[in-house]
């Protein structure tokens, strides 16, 4: 039985909102022009955009490796299997070594590798990344895992009864809910019911705190509320900064949820204003999605070549390398 053809349906997520807010051209490439790039007969430019959109930068790569490790660890604990932290660390290191070699060879243009990783933008554009920076990338992963295993979370996970486990990073196919008739993607890293019956959603972070994270976990709270039929104000949410060794509770009260709804409605309205046909999610012409006037987002953008900004980025990078360091100035 043949599956129905894929359709590019409109949906909302925190990451989509951020891309829309940062650069409209990048947003257009990512969500519209690259659509269908996986097909064997896709136009060359569409295929290029599709491959590029799958690339990560070294920071998000480190974060994704940590998330994959913690997902496997939690699922093992849920199933009653023992976990050796040293084995987890060694596996993460081997995965990153293999990832690095594959990406450096740009194999992503001709072959599939693994679902969670395609390649790195630093290799695609031959960015000048010193060896010490790559070593620090591994150290980010190692220290995040080390802190997790020494924290309160292993004991908490082991204390949960089977019925207290809700989800562990369930993925896009499962973790979404409906808000105002629109599909919203929200994938909590860990969701459970604590000893007093309170549902808890957790988001692991390898970076530092920044604006927007609260909205992300509020979306998780709405998702858990809908899927498991909890009053949303009863849900507790936490951001856990693995490399800083700290936890931050996020208020899930009616005021916070109303703020989230206003943020969501404004974001959706702005996105839909650039659609020729909202029913079919057909965008306006590319000219309605101009590139960012600020070059800063281009420095880490996967689309700098098709956007025509590659030369400008190289000039900016060269200037940054020639600029005196603070120590030299002092």
pLDDT tens string 140-194: 999 999 999 999 999 999 999 999 999 999 887 888 899 999 999 989 999 999 9
Q: What's the CA gap between 65 and 99, in Å, rounded? A: 10
Is pTM, for the whole model, over 0.85?
yes
Report CA dihedral (22, 26, 31, 32) to the nearest 10 degrees: 140
Q: Helix, strand or coil for residue 157?
A: helix
What backbone phi and psi angles, to 5 degrees, belong to 31?
Answer: -95, -15
246 pairs with which residues across the strands?
Answer: 241
C-alpha to C-alpha distance for 216 and 267, rounded to whole angstroms: 14
- At which residue do the structure tokens 């400008």 appear? 312
Q: Does residue 244 surpass a pLDDT of 60?
A: yes
Specify the range with the lowest mean pLDDT, choosing from 171-180, 193-202, 205-214: 205-214
Burial of 220 (0-12, 13-18, 19+ CB in 10 A): buried
Asked if 250 and 237 count as a contact pair (C-beta separation under 8 A), the reply is yes
What span, in angstroms and rounded, lies between the C-alpha atoms of 115 and 42?
21
Token look-up 């590139």 returns 291
Whether the pLDDT of residue 322 is over 80: the answer is no
Residue 257 has which token pair?
């949820």
Give the SS3 label for residue 6: coil
Task: State both tokens at 243.
Answer: 């490399």
At residue 166, φ and ψ (nearest 5 deg) are -105, -65
Of residues 24 and 296, the one with the higher pLDDT is: 24
Residue 96's pLDDT band (cuts 50, 70, 90)? very high
In the chain, the largest separation of any two C-alpha atoms, in whole Å, equals 71
Give dist(CA 28, CA 300) in Å, integer: 17
- Report the distance separating Cα 262 and Cα 272, nearest Å: 15
**pLDDT at residue 329 above 70?**
no
Task: State the pLDDT at residue 156.
Answer: 97
Please list the residues that pair with 200 across neighbouring strands. 192, 236
Identify the three-state secondary structure at position 167. strand
| Residue 84 to residue 166: CA distance in whole angstroms | 24
- DSSP run (H or E) holding 236: strand 236-241
Q: What is the mean pLDDT of the chain?
A: 92
- Residues facing residue 238 across a β-bridge: 202, 249
Q: Quote the DSSP letter at residue 2.
A: P
| Position 60 pLDDT exceeds 90 | yes
Q: Which DSSP state fits 176?
A: E
Kind of pairing between the strands at 236-241 and 199-205: parallel
Q: How far apart are CA 28 and CA 32, in angstroms?
A: 5
Q: Is residue 21 predicted with pLDDT exceeding 50?
A: yes
Mean pLDDT of 52-77: 97
200: DSSP letter: E
């Amino acid at each position: 039985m043949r599956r129905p053809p894929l359709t590019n349906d409109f949906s909302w997520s925190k990451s989509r909102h951020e891309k829309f807010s940062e650069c409209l051209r990048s947003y257009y490439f990512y969500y519209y022009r690259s659509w269908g790039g996986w097909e064997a007969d896709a136009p060359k430019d569409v295929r290029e955009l599709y491959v590029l959109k799958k690339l990560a930068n070294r920071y998000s790569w480190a974060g994704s490796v940590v998330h994959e490790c913690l997902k496997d660890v939690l699922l093992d604990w849920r199933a009653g299997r023992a976990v050796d932290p040293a084995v987890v660390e060694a596996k993460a290191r081997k995965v990153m070594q293999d990832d690095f070699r594959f990406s450096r060879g740009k194999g992503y243009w001709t072959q599939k590798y693994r679902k969670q990783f395609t390649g790195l933008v630093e290799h695609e554009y031959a960015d000048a990344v010193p060896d010490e920076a790559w070593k620090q990338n591994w150290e980010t992963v190692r220290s995040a895992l080390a802190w997790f295993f020494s924290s309160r979370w292993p004991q908490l996970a082991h204390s949960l009864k089977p019925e207290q486990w809700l989800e562990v990073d369930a993925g896009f196919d499962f973790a979404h809910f409906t808000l105002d008739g629109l599909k919203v993607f929200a994938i909590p890293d860990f969701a459970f019911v604590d000893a007093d019956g309170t549902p808890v959603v957790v988001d692991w972070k390898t970076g530092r705190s920044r604006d927007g994270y609260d909205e992300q976990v509020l979306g998780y709270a709405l998702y858990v509320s809908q899927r498991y039929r909890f009053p949303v104000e009863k849900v507790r949410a936490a951001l856990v900064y693995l490399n800083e060794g700290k936890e931050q509770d996020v208020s899930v009260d009616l005021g916070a949820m109303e703020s989230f709804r206003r943020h969501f409605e404004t974001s959706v309205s702005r996105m839909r204003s650039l659609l020729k046909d909202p029913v079919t999610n057909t965008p306006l012409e590319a000219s309605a999605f101009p590139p960012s006037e600020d070059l800063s987002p281009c420095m880490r953008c996967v689309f700098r070549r098709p956007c025509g900004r590659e030369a400008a980025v190289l000039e900016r990078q060269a200037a940054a390398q020639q600029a005196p360091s603070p120590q030299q100035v002092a």
